[in-house]
Structure 1
Amino acid sequence: MSRASKSRDQDVMATLEEIGGEILPNTGFFSNGHDAPSGLRLQNGIARTNCIDCLDRTNAAQFVIGKRALGHQLHDLGIIDGTTVEYDTDAVNLFTNMWHDHGDTIAIQYGGSHLVNTMATYRKINQWTSHSRDMVESFKRYYNNSFLDAQRQEAYNL
């Protein structure tokens, strides 16, 4: 995913969308539907994602799986016709902002800085102004990893 996100030819989000589409039929998702209990669906598994060296990529993968689940849930509730919610809609923009805040919180707790790469980065729609923010966050991560990580790891080990 790291290499693909830097390439102009590869669409990371489309690849993640395909993977997310394969995961949901296996794990299921919770829904009460229109007329419970006949519309009741239970989730029967979990999707575990983990990029060994990047919280940002882990967050992006989880976002796409969550976005796919949101589409299925909205469909089951009769709000949308299909099971896919498109990017740049009000619902997905709200979901993206919520997920970004969630990812930032985890990144600050674990890595000492905000997310460096956001959904806009992986969708390749980020503005040139975000590059300076990305550099500052990268420097914060480098500093925290180089000088403060030992104390943080000791706290986790308690």
Structure 2
Amino acid sequence: MTPVIEGWFTTGDEPRLLASRCTTCGNLVFPPVASGDGAAAFFCRNPACDGREQESVELARRGRVWSYTDAQYQPPAPYVPRTDPFRPFALAAVELPEGIVVLGQVADGYGVADLEVGAEVELVVETLDVDETGERTIYRWKPVPGQEATA
């Protein structure tokens, strides 16, 4: 299994999103910021901080739905539809305990009817597609059964 975007999430039984944290002020950023020289060099996204160093941190696996919607129309390239004809899918903005909101698709088999603002969801890794190099995976949000929404 190969993540579609390397460095954004871990795989395995308990996958986690990976974020960048400024070592000066603690500001978290997802997706993580690529470190390197030149234009790709890290700089803190907090306007009140001039930090230039970061560390990689794993985020919580569970969060609460902050907002959600469905994609009724096929997104433009480089999006590759999984079905022909295109089938709508749900998106959820999830607030994590670390205080950031992360957008992602909802797990296969779930749609907007399965979501509610405040309901708990957990991170899962699912197959996006399979090509000659093997299985390519992506992170998604899966509703946690039996969890009530909180105010």
TM-score of Structure 1 vs Structure 2, range by shorter chain: under 0.3
Structure with higher Rg: it is: 1
TM superposition score normalised by structure 2: 0.25
TM-score (norm 1): 0.24
Q: More strand by proportion, 1 or 2?
A: 2
> When you count helix as a share of all residues, which structure comes out higher?
1
